[in-house]
Amino acid sequence: MNKLNLISIFLIIILSSCQNREVEYYENGKIKKSYEQKDNKFNGQYKEFYENGNIKLIHIYENGILKDSSVFYNEGETIHQITHYLKKDTTYVKIFQNEKLSSEGKYFQNMKIDKWKYYDKHEKLEKVFEYITICGKHYSNQGWYFTSEGDTLIDKGNFIKYTNLKRNLKPKEILHFQMLYKSILPENSKSFVCLSSKIQDNFCNINEVKLDTIHPQNNSFDVLVSFSKKGNKNLRGFITEYQIEGYISKDSFRYAERKVYFDIPLLVE
């Protein structure tokens, strides 16, 4: 046997020793886990099973990192959840009930983010909730409800609708648009808008910058802004809605409050 063949056999032995197939069992003899490891890291398909032998979950690993998607099963082997792995710390999740899609949306660091869709038992879109992060804190922001035909229910939900909103502007051009606010509190509540182009994307400096305040006419806010310099801009802020619930004393009272945040990207060119 020549030297080249000996080297090839030696390499095969090394590679084989690095990729190990492991199987763990329940006391009843059924498989509990089945997976492969390479250099002490999960690599390839990873499976877990219920004690009755039915599949519980399937992962795909690459060098110890979850890849592609994972499938989670109920004990009766129907799919409960499918998780797709996106960029770091972000996943797109589909959740099922009775083998039908019940909700879907993104997670970031185990918190719901962006717009989540929720479906009825016939898998028709029933509602959409928007989740955001305000200075590191999870916040349920807007909500829309829909008819079985897919039309937005005007009498339900809590959201902002924009009209005449132009996204591309010229320097010093006046942007004039309206914000229509769907109230969530009773009719005798009051509301106002606070906004600025200097609010950070995480909203952490919202109490430190000067905010412009706008009061509504019939829950519609008239907004006029302009920018002197070119570039990407963001008009950020919130709508505060409040209702006085009762007076504690002559100078103090109880009130309910609700805020809806917004972040409007604009381009000045």
Q: Indicate which CATH number applies to the domain containing 264.
A: 2.60.40
pLDDT confidence of 264, banded at 50, 70, 90? Answer: very high
pTM assigned to the model: 0.84
Q: Residues 86, 200: one domain?
A: no
Contact 85, 72 (CB under 8 A): no
- Taking the CA atoms of 79, 84, 89 and 90 in sequence, report the sign of the dihedral they define: negative
Residues 176 and 257 in one domain: yes
In terms of domains, do 136 and 190 share one?
no
Place 237 in a pLDDT band, splitting at 50, 70 and 90. very high
CATH number of the domain bearing residue 114? 3.90.930
> Which is more confidently placed, 76 or 7?
76
Q: 250 and 176: one domain?
A: yes
| Whether residue 116 is found in the same domain as residue 208 | no
Task: Report whether 225 contacts 175 (CB < 8 A).
Answer: yes
Helices marked H in the chain:
3-18
The strands making up 220-225's β-sheet, listed across from edge to edge, are 160-163, 175-181, 220-225
Q: What are the angstrom distances between the C-alpha of 25 and each of 19, 45, 179?
A: 20, 17, 60
- Picking from 118, 145, 172, the residue at the C-terminal end of a domain is 145
- What pLDDT is attached to residue 19? 64
Look at the chain and report how many structural domains it folds into.
2
Residue 10 in any domain: the answer is no
Average pLDDT along the chain: 91
- Residue entry with tokens 């008239």: 222
The two structure tokens encoding residue 133:
């992060």
Residue 3 maps to a domain: no
CA–CA gap between residue 80 and residue 31 (Å, rounded): 21
The confidence score (pLDDT) of residue 17 equals 47
Read off the pLDDT band of 185 (50, 70, 90).
Answer: confident
253: pLDDT confidence band, cut at 50, 70 and 90?
A: confident
- Say if residue 10's pLDDT is above 70: no
Integer Cα distance of 58 and 70 in angstroms: 6
Least confident of 88-97, 135-144, 183-192, 196-205: 183-192
Interatomic CA distance for residues 96 and 70, integer angstroms: 14
pLDDT band of residue 3 (cuts 50, 70, 90) is: very low
Tell me whether residue 91 is in a domain: yes
Please check whether residues 171 and 235 belong to one and the same domain. Answer: yes
- Whether residue 108 is found in the same domain as residue 166: no
pLDDT at 138 over 50: yes
Residue 171 lies in a domain: yes
Same domain, yes or no: 91 and 211: no
CA dist 258 and 141 (Å) reads 9
Residue 141 sits in the same domain as residue 165 = no
- Answer yes or no: is pLDDT of 218 > 80: no
131 with 189, same domain: the answer is: no
DSSP label of 58: E
Domain hosting residue 103, numbered range = 16-145
Q: Is residue 194 part of a domain?
A: yes
Q: Between these two residues, 216 and 88, which has the higher pLDDT value? A: 216
In a domain, 4, yes or no: no
In a domain, 50, yes or no: yes
The model's pLDDT over 35-75, given as tens digits with 9 standing for 90+, comes to 999 999 999 999 999 999 999 999 999 999 999 999 999 99
Torsion of CA 101, 102, 106, 110, to 10 degrees: -120
